[in-house]
Chain A
């Protein structure tokens, strides 16, 4: 299959009748003076209908933050602390015992009076009325690997493209000098590694670009950003001659669009070298702002995220750390406290910063893990919680999100979603909707089927949308 086919035949074929607009847009992208249609798979494409958000930032609390300790207060747990629940415990990965009260205190914030624990006190005090906390989301199983896959790729087991890949496939990206989909994780990979941001059967151009944000040197963050020997001026000269040759070669070949696409990719790459280095260079931000975000890994990640969003990157995923930091089977009080100390301030600063720049209204922010945790303690000690997929909390903020609300509810102890339950597929469908995409029409033909992020599921939850 060659590029020409990818453009005219393949794109149309694969996108089926579901996305004529997108397919057409891709074909028209990057028209050159010579009138040759070179296809850039990441060229921006119009959505199905007017979008409320253009970018997505996914703050991934990998390991599974406890909802009953953060965004879903359960006062009854105080009463039953140390005692078995009157209802039997739902089966989760490990054996659980008695109820465990939250070691953190909840308070009401904002005009909406949204209840949040002191773990996210600053975020709540500054932004409660912007948050749409979904307290009734549920997933399929209480194991990390399948739940990460479900949250990221919409399927627990089989190789499917990630949300960020679908989003960049459907919408392209606005800044061709930067990757369209970035996944940041300090110090290594989360569980199941790069599968979390894979493009699976979609072309490789839609995979997430991984950044190890532990590295502070912006030039080292992105691979192959610098040539060790040639300086920018020499490299420009090299490219000038390269492009002259390439153009001559193209002309000798009936002006093939494939050749033009590759010519353009070098220009983009050259610009990316300077723009990527620039976007990660936080020294260009004022000191007070850097201080507000905090000079920590998470703070720097979020400031970089804002700089990317500002420049038109489509999808940024920010992970808590390698492995599964929020997986606190024991010693939850200290560990959750430490983690929220890392995140609360930076999130508050990030939302504020986005808002002040007018970016929050076009950026959809998702906070959450792959699942929540049990209201009962893991045996034998009474200081940690097991995984819980039956019900947990995530929140949305930003573009098109109706803030200041807690949607749905878990049961009185926080074990399972009870009131207005929503599945992870529904979250995906709604987020795509906010991006202007009908989740049933964003399809890709593979192995005889038109695949979707939401498979055969997913409902848009209009209550979350302004």
Chain B
């Protein structure tokens, strides 16, 4: 059910009926699909499809689609719709009639089995993974989805910068709906609207006067105004803040253990964004730099632009869980820039949009091959004097000190793990039997087996079973046998095909139990590894380069376990160390000491500012799909590429050797043929200017997003935007100069208009807009003469504190501890990116305005400023305050009310006026844009 239709259906019966009662659509079909998605698919994916999947399914039975279930395998159909009793899959999971599925481990719990019965009984709903909820044919719906189709040039055409184009499309709909458009707003309101929109601040009384007095036509005067506003540095600050919502910008990393919790140079990214908007950097370039500035340093801006990569790097660090960090980076690239929720495909194919899990892991591979240098390059030119050299020396020393320690610990870890392969094998087997648990941080002693490696060995054992890895066959058979049957089982599985090196070790030791067998395994692996090492060194010595494999296949088979690409002792090295790989307290204490020293040196006074950047791994690591998003459950290898939905639309992404692929996806996003990028951005700009987008779901242009209210307009704007060289300022100008933007709000007594278009989606009148926290707070300080206009630099203070006087965008944002009051005003949380802000009115906000010291400070400022500008007479003071706060003079009725109010407040004259000043700052007229 698409929402546009739904809301139309319910609109007439809004107050009396519930949704379920009011539509000719098949609720049962949707319910069955929902039931399947919630209860059945997860179990199939987790428990069954590992063996009954796409490639060479067990017993010929694939459980991937309804058809494959009906077709069945060697034993016949797996399910009969409506007939649970006739369905083998149920027999198998109930462990009846000699069938037992899943084969290992416990029977599924009874709830799950009951769910399967219900699923089969109710008709075996099995929606394709990308089937839209509306029940349309999957492929057709995806292929026809408006946002995935190329942009369409609309007729009639208009000149590149003709604002009449906008009015043409908007007015066509207005006429169709039989609505009556409002006239242009009065000039004093227009200048307030435009200045708040572009600067996040109101105009000064002088600016209002000049604009009102402009003798040009309304169009010409407004054109001059918009031009002036766009040229001001205030514009960059305001529009950067919108972007920072998308970039989930924060000055801190979230919860961390050993590192400093602050990003040392986060503000350089914030300043980069401000600069980019101020300079009207072409949007395609802006996007590319934020994904791959490290590969674009030759362009304008040069090294300074490396700061752009803060877009990727300034996310939450999720306690250094690499998978979550990558997930966050995939999200920040796809949702704000493309309007796609790609991260849904982390665990399974996207349920609605054509984004497969493989697409997600193709991007995952790209980010897994992008690393943060421990000591990133300097943003500006490096100093060359004595002091700079001294600092550089200290940093280098601290870095070497850290690196040497970390490297030696990793080497030690891997070597020890090879020596103790048998112990690990046994420990992994034991842990297979323990209750399932997620990975966790733990503290161990130096001589303990490493818990992370035990987990890797366990995953290796699971894989060896699934793939029936020959070298582990004997082990797995013995591990599955009862203790009493160990010797027989071993004898039975020691045959022709057993690796002779392993066989020799076993015969030699004649193990009586699993523990002894583990030692035999360990010994043979170790032996093979040393033979391999010698072989490799000989190869080097002979000058024939590094050999790829050992000549003896049996040596090769065993050494792979301790040295191959899939070896369980393989560790991913992190230059900062890794607490899960170095879990003993002594190592951690030493690590912490060295990290502290390094971080201190890096941030020492006079130390250069550096780029919070990513760089490509010189040698690529190949990555795999994680089944159900579980890194312990690796699926097939996935090639690094862009989303497959763009195949045929965009050039194929080929990642050159030595690169991660970031540059290539940056180019794919910024490619003019990409049907989403320009549409999404143009919609965003519209959303900011009107309070809602032409597409009402700015972060979701997929099947479940809302369709555009004016599709031709959206495409025309997007095409012209690209033609203009992706200029944000030209786009804004064009929209603002339209009659649509300049209309007045609804006049009194417009209940009929409101009834016809309660959401104002046809824009027959200008919507009123609530200021967000930053605009409200900056404006209050500004009209009070207290706002410090310094541009850029490190974050300091908090936008919620009365003592902080710079623009809110320069306040420090701690994502772990965002002030409650900021959240009260719907400032986004800075952990998950925000494609739009909620806008609520709550008593908490009102209490803030009534009682917070910030309002007191501003009210005092407003009184002081007004007093300095003319007569101290009450009504003259009130008039000046109104002009500052509302951009208009108070009416005589208001002046009478004010004078009455002032008599009721006791205390000296100043207190009365402060109470009045606060009133202006609390008023709806101050907080809303008409």
User: A residues touching B (Cβ–Cβ < 8 Å)?
Assistant: 1-6, 8-9, 12-13, 17, 20-21, 24, 27-28, 40-42, 88, 90-95, 138, 140-143, 145-146, 156-159, 176-177, 179, 189, 192-195, 198-205, 207, 209-210, 222-230, 234-235, 237-239, 241-242, 244-246, 249-256, 258-259, 261-266, 268-270, 272-273, 389-390, 416, 440, 446-449, 456, 459
B388 at interface by CB-CB < 8 Å: no
Interface residues of B in 911-927 (CB under 8 A from A): 911, 914-915, 918-919, 922-925, 927
Among A13, A210, A250, A272, the one with the most B-chain Cβ atoms within 10 Å of its Cβ is A13
**Cβ-defined partner of B818 (8 Å) among A194, A224, A227, A258:** A194
In the complex, A118→B807 CA distance in Å? Answer: 57
B522 at interface by CB-CB < 8 Å: no
In the complex, A388→B121 CA distance in Å? Answer: 41
Between A and B, 23 residue pairs with Cβ closer than 8 Å are A2-B767, A4-B767, A5-B696, A6-B838, A9-B696, A141-B440, A142-B440, A158-B324, A200-B831, A201-B834, A205-B824, A223-B820, A223-B847, A228-B851, A241-B898, A252-B747, A254-B747, A265-B846, A266-B843, A269-B845, A273-B847, A447-B699, A449-B341
Interface contact tally, CB-CB below 8 A? 309
Q: Judge whether B844 and A209 touch: CB under 8 Å.
A: yes
B438 at interface by CB-CB < 8 Å: yes
Q: Judge whether B914 and A229 touch: CB under 8 Å.
A: yes
In the complex, A250→B1 CA distance in Å? Answer: 36
In the complex, A230→B834 CA distance in Å? Answer: 38
In the complex, A222→B821 CA distance in Å? Answer: 11
B826 at interface by CB-CB < 8 Å: yes
Q: Mark B871-910, 1 if CB is under 8 A from A, else 0.
A: 0000000000000000000000010011001001110000
For A440, list chain B residues within 8 Å (CB): 38
For B914, list chain A residues within 8 Å (CB): 229
Q: Judge whether B759 and A204 touch: CB under 8 Å.
A: no
For A140, list chain B residues within 8 Å (CB): 437-438, 440
Closest 4 CB pairs of A and B: A448-B341, A254-B746, A269-B846, A203-B838
Known contacts A141-B439, A254-B754: A269-B827 contact under CB 8 Å: no
A386 nearest CB across to chain B (Å): 9
For A446, list chain B residues within 8 Å (CB): 832
B829 at interface by CB-CB < 8 Å: yes
Q: Mark B295-323, 1 if CB is under 8 A from A, else 0.
A: 00000000000000000000010110100
B732 at interface by CB-CB < 8 Å: no
Q: Judge whether A447 and B829 touch: CB under 8 Å.
A: no
Q: Judge whether A447 and B840 touch: CB under 8 Å.
A: no
Q: Which range holds the interface residue count of chain B? A: 35 or more
In the complex, A198→B911 CA distance in Å? Answer: 38
**9-residue interface stretch from B212-220, B405-413, B443-451, B677-685:** B443-451
B881 nearest CB across to chain A (Å): 13
User: B residues touching A (Cβ–Cβ < 8 Å)?
Assistant: 1, 3, 6-7, 10, 14-15, 18-20, 30, 38, 42, 111, 255, 316, 318-319, 321, 324, 331, 335, 340-341, 343-344, 350, 352-353, 430-431, 434-435, 437-445, 448, 451, 687, 691-692, 696-697, 699-700, 702, 704, 706, 745-751, 753-754, 758-760, 765, 767-770, 816-818, 820-821, 823-827, 829, 831-832, 834, 836-848, 850-853, 856, 894, 897-898, 901, 904-906, 911, 914-915, 918-919, 922-925, 927-928, 930
Q: Judge whether B840 and A5 touch: CB under 8 Å.
A: no
Chain A residue at minimum C-beta to C-beta distance from B852 = A224
For A244, list chain B residues within 8 Å (CB): 897
Q: Judge whether B832 and A159 touch: CB under 8 Å.
A: yes
In the complex, A323→B445 CA distance in Å? Answer: 26
Q: Judge whether B843 and A230 touch: CB under 8 Å.
A: no
Q: Judge whether B904 and A237 touch: CB under 8 Å.
A: yes
**Cβ-defined partner of A204 (8 Å) among B443, B831, B838, B918:** B838
**Cβ-defined partner of B850 (8 Å) among A94, A227, A256, A448:** A227
Among B6, B437, B700, the one with the most A-chain Cβ atoms within 10 Å of its Cβ is B437
Known contacts A13-B706, A204-B824: A262-B841 contact under CB 8 Å: yes
**Cβ-defined partner of A238 (8 Å) among B770, B832, B919:** B919
Q: Judge whether B924 and A1 touch: CB under 8 Å.
A: no
For A143, list chain B residues within 8 Å (CB): 440-441
Q: Judge whether A269 and B691 touch: CB under 8 Å.
A: no
Q: Judge whether A94 and B930 touch: CB under 8 Å.
A: no
Q: Judge whether B928 and A456 touch: CB under 8 Å.
A: no
Chain A residue at minimum C-beta to C-beta distance from B836 = A1
For A4, list chain B residues within 8 Å (CB): 758-760, 767
A275 nearest CB across to chain B (Å): 10
A354 nearest CB across to chain B (Å): 26
For B442, list chain A residues within 8 Å (CB): 91-94, 142
In the complex, A14→B824 CA distance in Å? Answer: 20
Q: Judge whether B820 and A207 touch: CB under 8 Å.
A: yes
**Cβ-defined partner of B753 (8 Å) among A12, A254, A263:** A254
Q: Judge whether B848 and A224 touch: CB under 8 Å.
A: yes
In the complex, A142→B841 CA distance in Å? Answer: 40
In the complex, A227→B906 CA distance in Å? Answer: 15
**Cβ-defined partner of A192 (8 Å) among B439, B816, B820, B824:** B816
**Cβ-defined partner of A234 (8 Å) among B6, B350, B831, B904:** B904
Q: Judge whether B438 and A448 touch: CB under 8 Å.
A: no
Q: Judge whether A416 and B331 touch: CB under 8 Å.
A: no
